[in-house]
């Protein structure tokens, strides 16, 4: 029987870069061709309809059914010109990824024939049979109705033959069953709360928009090698595999040229993204071999989230054309860097000011400091919640490991801003000087722009870092829907801004001048949020001890981290901001715990199966070969010479036996642990049991398998090894 591994290696090695026919047009000429964006709306909608749709998009004004009908039929005409025959409501269930159910445009015409039809009602709302999507018990399966409802703020788009309409997904009783619903709410409440605070500085501000620029990391491996690894197919990560002798030590991948097959994939993907209005701007190699990154120009948060979800699915499709598989898992390979999705986050006013960027004058700088300090407070108060927002079974492999992010959410501010905050807090005279709106060398607030010119200090060990004109939330996992992290952050910030406003208003009511009041509360916040600021090495053990002392959440076990959604402070925050109700929070946690359990359960099953019916047989076969040779040696040599000649083989035979024994024993124990855990009713307790009693076996079993990989004849080993998975292009 041919060794599948060698076949896969040969196939992968023989692959050439796909010739990619770059379009002859400039990107700016075809950008957004498949999106029903403002340009296309202008062409296909009447002036009046356009005006009403734009009011809905820009100001959240409701759309009446007449207008919806006109939009629907224009959308259909536009989509059919691009070859669409179907439409779907595209939504984000609580599992990661997106969901869609396609329906054809066809309808009876009432005279025995067929027509293409798409009504305002079909655009606005659908009732997918939602019983297969997780709801955490909100929706009993006998009333399996969930609604999807059109989100006009994210434009419809065409993928192949289907018009996709971004929608929210809610239960029959109105609870959110998705990520988009609470994300949109968090965006709205943040707009309101931030606008009110901005108005201390500029009465003209009417809206504040949250921006997100994600950086998507991923691995690419050849599909033949992927298909020869059942663990990758079923879990998206390698559950076994010894380190390659060379991995990322030299960091030569990061600075090296992009391999030609990968470059062709990237160009192809960028092209597809631009057609769909995803503004991909940067592409590069990452630190680990086989690892890469895409980053777009930042956009409004809701749109950016949709674009990231769309990117993840487009990536998978385009990769197939190039005979690659994209791995979005946070840690597909042990011992080398995992993948994250840094979420760059900032707030901007409708008057064109980035609130996270130092301004041109003292007033703008006080506003900047106010928003920075409120962010610090939000992260300080809700650091456990923010961690819950990025936690999952898969991201757990990055969290707590010696790579960003550590499992403690702290903020890196950099030396310059830290010094300014310290001075504002401690120097009694500064308030006087700072409030004078004239330039002078002694004004610390006026110094900020200059200081920032060469602010290059970057701390890669921080999960939440200020990077000059935005905060970078680095703890988000590569496979995650970034809405989860963004809605936690937006909501935490909203709650904090509401508190800030309340306190400032009280001071103003007691007779203080506005600027003085703002200043007083800012100062108090600087003091109160000190514990969350940390510029040192986030990986060090000293930091963990120090963080604990400062009262930051240091939990590393996912099922317990998720408890933060239900803490008193979180429930209060979500109620105050009206982003999620208590019922929703509890239901969503049920889903998260269940997801956690299922992921671990699948990994445990796959590893158990592979260990028993793959690894042990291969190792036993090799052991047999060694025994055969020993037998022959014995036939030729004297008994006491055998040891001299074949001593090494004897010890390998024994060591194979020891590893096989250990694997068998631990697989049995793991199966028992699973059986016991499966009987537990409560999703939380079950997830904890899986975390504490099943997960440890994954590592222990792997240890013995990886040892066998080193011993067993390379010719006999049937699973592609790390050196092949990671280095073949």
Residues making contact with Mg ion (CB under 5 A)? 342
- The whole-angstrom separation of Cα 356 and Cα 470 is 5
Partner touching 584 among ligand ADP, Mg ion, none, CB below 5 to 8 Å by kind:
none
The number of angstroms, rounded, from the C-alpha of 145 to the middle of its chain's C-alpha atoms is: 29
Among 74, 295, 420, 619, binds ligand ADP (CB under 6 A): 295
Interface stretch with ligand ADP, choices 166-174, 343-351, 375-383, 413-421 (CB under 6 A): 343-351
Site string for ligand ADP, 432-471 (x = CB under 6 A): -------------------------------------xx-
Among 136, 241, 296, 720, binds ligand ADP (CB under 6 A): 296
Tokens representing 507?
A: 């001071």
Question: Comparing C-alpha atoms, which of 42, 163, 189 is closest to residue 53?
Answer: 42
Q: What are phi and psi of 188, to 5 degrees?
A: -65, -45
- The whole-angstrom separation of Cα 51 and Cα 54 is 5
- The whole-angstrom separation of Cα 84 and Cα 76 is 8
CA distances from 132 to 122, 136, 137, 177, 257 (A): 21, 11, 12, 12, 45
Could you say which residues in the range 467-496 bind ligand ADP, by CB under 6 A?
Answer: 469-470
Asked if 344 is part of the footprint of ligand ADP (rule: CB under 6 A), the reply reads yes
Whole-number minimum distance, CB 209 to ligand ADP, in Å?
10
Q: Which is nearer to ligand ADP, 375 or 677 (CB)?
A: 375
Angle at 101 between CA 99 and CA 105, to 5 degrees: 140
Q: Which is nearer to ligand ADP, 284 or 502 (CB)?
A: 284
Please give the residue whose beta carbon sits closest to ligand ADP in the complex. Answer: 213
Residues near 364 by beta carbon (within 8 Å), at least 6 away in sequence? 201, 353, 358
Asked if 346 is part of the footprint of ligand ADP (rule: CB under 6 A), the reply reads yes
Asked if 211 is part of the footprint of ligand ADP (rule: CB under 6 A), the reply reads yes
Q: 25-28: long-range contacts at Cβ-Cβ below 8 A with a sequence spacing of 24 or more?
A: 27/271, 27/274
Among 34, 87, 200, 298, binds ligand ADP (CB under 6 A): 298
Per the omega criterion (within 30 degrees of 0), is the bond before 405 cis? yes
Site string for ligand ADP, 20-49 (x = CB under 6 A): ------------------------------
CA dihedral 562, 563, 567, 571 (to 10 degrees): 50
Q: Which is nearer to ligand ADP, 470 or 557 (CB)?
A: 470
Whole-number minimum distance, CB 207 to ligand ADP, in Å?
16
Asked if 215 is part of the footprint of ligand ADP (rule: CB under 6 A), the reply reads yes
Question: Comparing C-alpha atoms, which of 713, 613, 589, 696 is closest to residue 656?
Answer: 713
Give the binding-site size for ligand ADP (rule: CB under 6 A): 14
Q: Which is nearer to ligand ADP, 337 or 344 (CB)?
A: 344
Q: How many CA atoms lie within 13 A of 307 on its CB side?
A: 32
Whole-number minimum distance, CB 158 to ligand ADP, in Å?
25
Whole-number minimum distance, CB 470 to Mg ion, in Å?
10
Q: Which is nearer to ligand ADP, 208 or 587 (CB)?
A: 208
- The whole-angstrom separation of Cα 35 and Cα 495 is 35
- The whole-angstrom separation of Cα 67 and Cα 95 is 33
Partner touching 634 among Mg ion, ligand ADP, none, CB below 5 to 8 Å by kind:
none
Among 3, 131, 153, 354, binds ligand ADP (CB under 6 A): 354
CA distances from 478 to 309, 320, 424, 699 (A): 11, 19, 38, 22
SS3 category, 164? strand
Whole-number minimum distance, CB 315 to ligand ADP, in Å?
16
Asked if 414 is part of the footprint of ligand ADP (rule: CB under 6 A), the reply reads no
- The whole-angstrom separation of Cα 214 and Cα 463 is 14
Asked if 218 is part of the footprint of ligand ADP (rule: CB under 6 A), the reply reads no
Could you say which residues in the range 114-173 bind ligand ADP, by CB under 6 A?
Answer: none
Interface stretch with ligand ADP, choices 101-109, 267-275, 342-350, 597-605 (CB under 6 A): 342-350
SS3 category, 60? coil
Whole-number minimum distance, CB 280 to ligand ADP, in Å?
9
Asked if 297 is part of the footprint of ligand ADP (rule: CB under 6 A), the reply reads yes
Q: Which is nearer to Mg ion, 135 or 216 (CB)?
A: 216
Point out which residues bind ligand ADP (CB under 6 A).
211, 213, 215, 282, 295-298, 344-346, 354, 469-470
């Amino acid at each position: 029987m041919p060794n599948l591994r060698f076949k896969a290696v040969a196939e992968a090695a023989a692959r050439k870069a796909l010739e990619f026919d770059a379009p002859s047009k400039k990107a700016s000429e075809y950008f957004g061709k498949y999106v029903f964006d403002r340009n296309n709306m202008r062409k296909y909608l009447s002036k009046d309809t356009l005006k009403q749709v734009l009011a809905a998009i820009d100001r959240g004004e409701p759309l009446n059914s007449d207008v919806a009908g006109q939009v629907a039929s224009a959308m259909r005409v536009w989509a059919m010109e691009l070859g669409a025959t179907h439409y779907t409501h595209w939504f984000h269930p609580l599992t990661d990824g997106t969901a869609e159910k396609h329906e054809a445009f066809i309808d009876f015409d009432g005279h025995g024939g067929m027509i293409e039809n798409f009504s305002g009602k079909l655009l606005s709302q659908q009732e997918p049979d939602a019983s297969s999507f997780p709801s955490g018990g909100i929706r009993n399966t006998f009333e399996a109705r969930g609604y999807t409802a059109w989100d006009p703020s994210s434009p419809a788009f065409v993928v192949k033959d289907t018009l996709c309409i971004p929608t929210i997904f809610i239960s029959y009783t109105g609870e959110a069953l998705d990520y988009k619903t609470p994300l949109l709410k968090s965006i709205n409440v943040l707009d309101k709360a931030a606008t009110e605070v901005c108005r201390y500085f500029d009465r003209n501000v009417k809206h504040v928009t949250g921006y997100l620029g994600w950086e998507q990391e991923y691995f690419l491996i050849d599909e033949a090698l992927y298909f020869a690894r059942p663990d990758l197919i079923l879990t998206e990560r390698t559950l076994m595999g010894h380190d390659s002798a060379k991995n990322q030590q030299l960091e030569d991948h990061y600075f090296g040229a992009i391999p030609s097959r990968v470059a062709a994939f990237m160009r192809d993907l960028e092209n597809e993204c631009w057609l769909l209005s995803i503004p991909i701007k940067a592409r590069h190699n990452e630190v680990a071999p086989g690892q890469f990154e895409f980053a777009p120009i930042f956009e409004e948060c809701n749109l950016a989230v949709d674009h990231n979800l769309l990117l993840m699915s487009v990536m998978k499709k385009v990769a197939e054309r190039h005979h690659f598989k994209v791995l979005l898992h946070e840690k597909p390979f042990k011992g080398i860097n995992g993948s994250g999705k840094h979420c760059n986050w900032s707030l901007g006013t409708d008057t064109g000011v980035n609130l996270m960027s130092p301004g041109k004058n003292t007033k703008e700088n006080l506003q900047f400091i106010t928003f920075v300090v409120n962010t610090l407070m939000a992260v300080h108060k809700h650091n456990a919640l923010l961690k819950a927002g990025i936690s999952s079974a898969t991201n757990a492999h990055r969290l707590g490991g010696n790579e960003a992010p550590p499992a403690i959410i702290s903020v890196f501010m950099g030396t310059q801003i830290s010094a300014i905050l310290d001075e504002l807090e401690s120097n009694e005279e500064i308030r006087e000087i700072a409030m004078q709106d004239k330039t002078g060398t002694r004004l610390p607030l006026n110094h900020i722009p200059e200081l920032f010119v060469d602010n290059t200090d970057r701390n890669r060990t921080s999960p939440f870092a200020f990077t000059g004109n935005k905060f970078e939330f680095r703890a988000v996992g590569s496979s995650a829907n970034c809405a989860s992290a963004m809605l936690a952050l937006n909501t935490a910030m909203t709650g904090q801004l509401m508190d800030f406003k309340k306190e400032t208003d009280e001071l103003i009511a007691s007779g203080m001048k506005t600027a003085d009041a703002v200043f007083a509360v800012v100062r108090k916040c600087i003091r109160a949020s000190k514990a969350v600021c940390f510029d040192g090495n986030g990986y060090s053990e000293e930091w963990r001890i120090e963080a604990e002392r400062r009262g930051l959440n240091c939990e590393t076990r996912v099922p317990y981290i998720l408890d933060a959604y239900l803490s008193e402070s979180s429930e209060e925050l979500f109620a105050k901001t009206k982003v999620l109700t208590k019922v929703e929070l509890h239901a969503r946690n049920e889903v998260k715990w269940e997801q956690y359990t299922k992921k671990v359960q699948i990994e445990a099953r796959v590893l158990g199966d592979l260990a028993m019916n793959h690894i042990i047989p291969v190792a036993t076969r090799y052991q047999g070969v060694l025994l055969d040779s020993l037998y022959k040696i014995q036939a030729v040599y004297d008994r006491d010479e055998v040891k001299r000649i074949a001593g090494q083989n004897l010890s390998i035979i024994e060591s194979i036996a020891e590893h096989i024994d250990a694997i068998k024993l631990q697989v049995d124990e793991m199966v028992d642990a699973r059986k016991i855990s499966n009987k537990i009713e409560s999703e939380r307790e079950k997830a904890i049991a899986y975390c504490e009693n099943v997960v440890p076996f994954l590592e222990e079993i792997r240890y013995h398998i990886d040892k066998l990989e080193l011993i067993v004849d390379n010719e006999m080993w049937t699973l592609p090894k790390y050196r092949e998975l990671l280095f073949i292009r």
